[in-house]
Amino acid sequence: MVAVVALSLVGLVVAAVFVAGVRARPVVVGIGSPVGTSGGSVVVTRVGTTFVPTTQGPPTAARMAGTEGLDQLQVWVELTATARGGLEYSEDDFRLVTAAGEARTPDGSTLGDGLLPRGGTVSGQVWFDDVPGISDGWVEYADPDGRPVRVALTPQQVVPAPAQEDGGTHHG
């Protein structure tokens, strides 16, 4: 009887480790591909780069939302809640991970913190300052169940902002 109980416990431990390993495996998608999460869905709708100018003149969106004189990676996201209890969200749910494995939290966001009711959708932007030439790596979203969702960044998908006639850049 003791052997049966011991084997049952070993089986439960092995099953728990297996399930934890499966849940921890990241889901990797491309920009524009929605991913189901434990609370709803997330999609990175667009990614772009811009330079935050230090010039005088009317404030641009990039100047109001970034550190002047730095390259900035801008990530537009959309979250939709499908869970009965809604979906809690925060800019801290996102991070930038380089191909070398270096992880960075956002330098800013329009998302804030909130609870999205079931059926609700919120769109916003997170940005990362001082990211010159990022082209490989991913934007990672932390699913409330602990499983990371990674959106692959490739040079073809990270679109630089067009230069303006005055030599500055435009924040789209």
pLDDT (tens digit, 9 = 90+) per residue, 76-96?
Answer: 999 999 999 999 999 999 999
Domain 27-160 has CATH 3.40.50.1460: no
User: How confident is the model over 121-144, as a mean pLDDT?
Assistant: 85
More confident residue, 93 or 130: 93
Computed over every residue of the chain, the mean pLDDT equals: 76
Position 15 scores a pLDDT of 44
Comparing C-alpha atoms, which of 30, 29, 35, 64 is closest to residue 50? 64
Whether the per-residue pLDDT at 121 is higher than 90: the answer is: yes
Q: How far apart are CA 141 and CA 43, in angstroms?
A: 10
In the chain, what are the domain boundaries?
A: 27-160
Whole-model pTM: value is 0.69
Q: Which residue did the predictor score with more confidence, 155 or 167?
A: 155
| Two tokens, residue 79 | 């979250």
Contact 150, 27 (CB under 8 A): yes
* Bridge partners (DSSP) listed for residue 125: 76
Nearest alpha-carbon partner for 88 in 64, 50, 116, 55: 116
Q: What percent of the chain has pLDDT over 90?
A: 41
